Amino acid sequence: MKLAQRIQNVSGSLTLEITSRAKKLRQEGFDVINFAAGEPDFDTPEFIKEAAIKAIHDGFTKYTPSSGILELKSAISRKFKNENRLNYNPSQIVVSCGAKHSIYNLIQVLTESGDEVIIPSPYWVSYPEMVKLAEATAVILRAYPNENLKINISCLKQAITSKTKLLILNSPSNPTGVVYNPDELKEIAKVCIQNKILVISDEIYEHLIYDGQSYTSIASLGKEIYDLTITVNGVSKAFSMTGWRIGYLGASEEIACAVSKFQDHSTSNPTSISQKAAFAALEAKNSWLKKLCLEFEERRNLMLQCLDNISALSYIKPQGAFYVFSDISKLGLDSHTFVKRLLEEENVALIPGEGFGMENYVRLSFATSKDKIKLGMERIERWVKQLLKKS
């Protein structure tokens, strides 16, 4: 049997590899500290669970329209308007099985063989693989530590060719946690408008933003960039709903219709019960998000304080999301070896930078308790000191 070339071209997930090694160690009785998590460690809030239970009891358990129920699309439309100053009618919104699914659908619908997609590094691991699955070409943008690994505008301009179709923008970023300010977004928008490049703006970490900053969606910066942008978001990270699988996009009606048609013939609707739960999450006027943000900010500060004690590990200060991207180049190990050895020798799980397109880095997630952060960082400090002594 020969598998299709399409899947043979795609790389396996390094994240999953590390997670399953960590799980195996834990099953063997080792006390593993998990700094590899890509999801909040909190349970989904009770009021959201109750909405889902009500949906089940009400018999809301059948197919819905592929692109989502009107009630949820209307709530998303209000969310875009109130929080992002974006006007997307319900007919411009498609609800999918997570933001990952929204982005996958978009890349399938917008690109094909011969098209180029610009992906700024360091990038979320799935973007280049999704581009390969669409048989388009990923063009990776280089980033510089002295610019906080943000998009370099000259590099962006140089990467553009007549084949460039799309730019994928992710703010706050996974893996660096950097957040683009309105001036930076304006510069990126200007280049995209001049060159008529579409933008997928992945805003999944929008609500996890620190130091009293406010969030700007690139599409809110004017009509021209609004027309070129597809805004993607979801409930996974903000409401601790990673398993419920609800993401969504706002786009032109033409693109929304195309994605909806694609979904008609692939997954159909996202789970009816999860749609009701997502509606409850988006409509709630409660303090959940504030509390979540505050807790993550405290955890970030603690992890950075601990990192400041390990001078061999420099880092980019994250302003959002729940990750710290740390430079390991002073230690003389590649990121994969660093992560494998740290897990085996000190039972701390991180993600190697290799998967994000940056070999000399590792990603530490602070989506875990403060006690675990302290313990894990003590282990890292001890291990790094030993490593430096031996070398």
Binding site for ligand PLP (CB under 6 A): 38, 98-100, 124, 170, 174, 202, 204, 234, 236, 242, 247
Q: Residue 30 is which amino acid?
A: F
Q: Shortest approach of ligand PLP to residue 224 CB, angstroms?
A: 25
CA distances from 277 to 126, 258, 270, 286 (A): 26, 26, 12, 15
Q: Among residues 13 and 152, whose Cβ is nearest to ligand PLP?
A: 13
Which CB atom, from 127 or from 226, has the smaller least distance to ligand PLP? 127
To ligand PLP, the closest distance from the beta carbon of 129 in angstroms equals: 13
Q: Pick between residue 39 and residue 334 the one whose CB is nearest to ligand PLP.
A: 39
d(CA 344, CA 232): 37
How many whole angstroms separate alpha carbon 191 and alpha carbon 152? 12
- Specify whether the CB–CB gap between 250 and 76 falls below 8 A: yes
Which string of DSSP letters, residue by residue, matches 251-272?
Answer: --HHHHHHHHHHHHTTT-SPPH
Residue nearest to ligand PLP (CB): 98
Task: Give whichever of 98 and 318 is closer to ligand PLP, judged by the CB atom.
Answer: 98
In the complex, least distance from residue 202 CB atom to ligand PLP, rounded to whole angstroms: 5
| Nearest distance from C-beta of residue 208 to ligand PLP, angstroms | 11
Minimum CB distance to ligand PLP, residue 127 (Å): 8
In terms of Cα–Cα distance, which of 215, 217, 165, 161 is closest to 189?
Answer: 217
Between 202 and 327, whose beta carbon lies closer to ligand PLP? 202
Rounded least distance, CB 236 to ligand PLP, Å: 3
In which residue are the tokens 């388009």 written?
136
Closer CB to ligand PLP, residue 132 or residue 245?
A: 245
The candidate with the shortest Cα–Cα distance to 232, out of 354, 318, 109, 325, is 109
Residue 377 to residue 342: CA distance in whole angstroms: 11
